[in-house]
Amino acid sequence: MNEAIKYFIGEHDFKAFKASGAGSKSSVRKILAGEVRKEGERIIIEITGTGFLYNMVRIISGTLLEVGLGKMNPNEIPEIIESKDRTKAGKTLPAHGLYLLKVEY
């Protein structure tokens, strides 16, 4: 999962990682940092970016979970990003446990 999250860092078209039907002029976003760590029984996924698409973090997290479960290889992430195909990314994880830590201007 730590290897896979590195592929999300940078400016990419995250069309494959947005909710179907979500309206936005552009699906290009910039991820500044990403980290996966284990704290007890919990897996913490922390993503810092300049902006996010609707459900983007939940879909990225679902994709990382697929990697962690061995259902997907970390090196598939760039192909999924390039494909812009939502069906190639992981499931949208439920919102419980997800929270916004802070906003900086």
Hey, what domains does the chain have and what are their CATH numbers? 2-88 (3.30.70.660)
| E strand or H helix that includes residue 11 | strand 10-13
| E strand or H helix that includes residue 46 | strand 42-49
pLDDT at 105: 75
Query: What value does the mean pLDDT of the chain take?
Result: 93
pLDDT higher than 80, residue 57:
yes
35 three-state secondary structure: strand
pLDDT at 104: 77
| CB-CB contact of 88 with 17 (8 Å) | no
Closest CA to 5 of 55, 88, 71, 78: 78
Closest CA to 27 of 49, 53, 48: 53
